[in-house]
Amino acid sequence: AQTVTQSQPEMSVQEAETVTLSCTYDTSESDYYLFWYKQPPSRQMILVIRQEAYKQQNATENRFSVNFQKAAKSFSLKISDSQLGDAAMYFCAYGGRRTYKYIFGTGTRLKVLA
Amino acid sequence: ETGVTQSPTHLIKTRGQQVTLRCSSQSGHNTVSWYQQALGQGPQFIFQYYREEENGRGNFPPRFSGLQFPNYSSELNVNALELDDSALYLCASSLRQGASNEQFFGPGTRLTVL
């Protein structure tokens, strides 16, 4: 069975600084996707970034980038130039290409300090 | 383009009752998934519907059931409510079935079982 682990329940970052959120996963599948979702206090989950496992290049979306280490089964999210609006719960999620569900981690609460 | 909507926003029920939660998918999406998110936890996959058929299910008992309608709106029904069913229930729609496709989440329904 697939698992997703987020070992940092809470992180803090100063505005304009950089922070990295960690995620590890376990799977026996070779073809899968990894996601980072953001859940602000208003509750609606929003996709931040997506990585396809067969792509070597790390995904980037503006200030958000990932460090995908397939062999180590590690998928961290780096947020550069942190903004107050980045404060939220961040969930790492796994999706196998042939499965019909996501596996979510327990989340990391990110606080951004002014 | 209308996003994913859910109703009601909040609901209070007593143990043993039955509840129906509703979800309207984003326009053009034929796949809907339901998740249960307990307080302080990541979402847990309940099931996914594609073109009115259930095509994947998580570790939830049969008293959790669903429907998808021809317009791709969906219902989650929970019978014989238990205290542990208290949670935020999230609906997510996607263009196609399969966990590789981006899911768009609704704001959720907060269910409290007394």
* A49-108 residues touching B, CB cutoff 8 A: 50, 52, 91, 93-107
Q: Given the DSSP bridges, would you call strands A10-14 and A108-113 parallel, antiparallel or unpaired?
A: parallel
Q: Is the pLDDT of residue B71 over 90?
A: no
Q: Are B80 and B65 in contact (CB under 8 A)?
A: no
Please report which confidence band the pLDDT of residue B1 belongs to, taking 50, 70 and 90 as the band edges: low
Say whether pLDDT at A11 is over 90.
yes
CA distance A45 to chain B (A): 6
B30 contacts B96 by C-beta, under 8 angstroms: yes
Is residue B101's pLDDT more than 90? no
pLDDT of residue B112: 97
Q: What is the DSSP letter of A101?
A: -
Q: What is the mean pLDDT of chain A?
A: 93
Looking at per-residue confidence, does A100 or B58 come out higher?
B58
Cβ-proximal residues to B47 (8 Å cutoff; 6+ apart), any chain: B33, B34, B54, B56, B57, B58, B60, B64, B66
Chain B residues touching residue A99 (CB < 8 angstroms): 56, 98-99
Query: What's residue A100's pLDDT?
Result: 76
Partner B contacted by A28 (CB < 8 A): no
| Lowest-confidence segment of A9-18, B6-15, B95-104, B105-114 by average pLDDT | B95-104
Which residue in A has a C-alpha nearest to residue B56's C-alpha? A100
- Chain A residues near residue B104 by CB distance under 8 angstroms: 47
Mean pLDDT of the A37-57 span: 90
Of the two residues B2 and B71, the one the predictor is more confident about is: B71
Residues contacting B71, CB < 8 A, separation 6+: none
Closest residue by Cα to residue B48 from B72, B80, B81? B72
Q: How far, in Å, CA of A39 to CA of A24, rounded? A: 19
CB contact under 8 Å between B105 and A45, yes or no, is: yes
Q: CB contact, 8 Å: A1 with chain B? A: no
Place of tokens 């998740």: B35
Contacts of A52 in chain B (CB under 8 A): 100
Give the gap in angstroms from C-alpha B90 to the nearest C-alpha of chain A: 9
CA distances from B71 to A19, A84, B23 (A): 42, 39, 11
- Quick one: closest CA in A to B4, which residue? A44
Q: Are B68 and B74 in contact (CB under 8 A)?
A: yes
**pLDDT (mean) for A14-42:** 94
pLDDT at A96: 86
Residues of chain B with C-beta less than 8 angstroms from the C-beta of A102? 33, 43, 45, 99, 103
- Cβ atoms within 10 Å, residue A26: 12
Over residues A83-107, the pLDDT tens digits come to: 999 999 999 999 988 777 789 999 9
d(CA B6, CA B22): 6
Rounded (5°) CA angle A66-A53-A74:
50
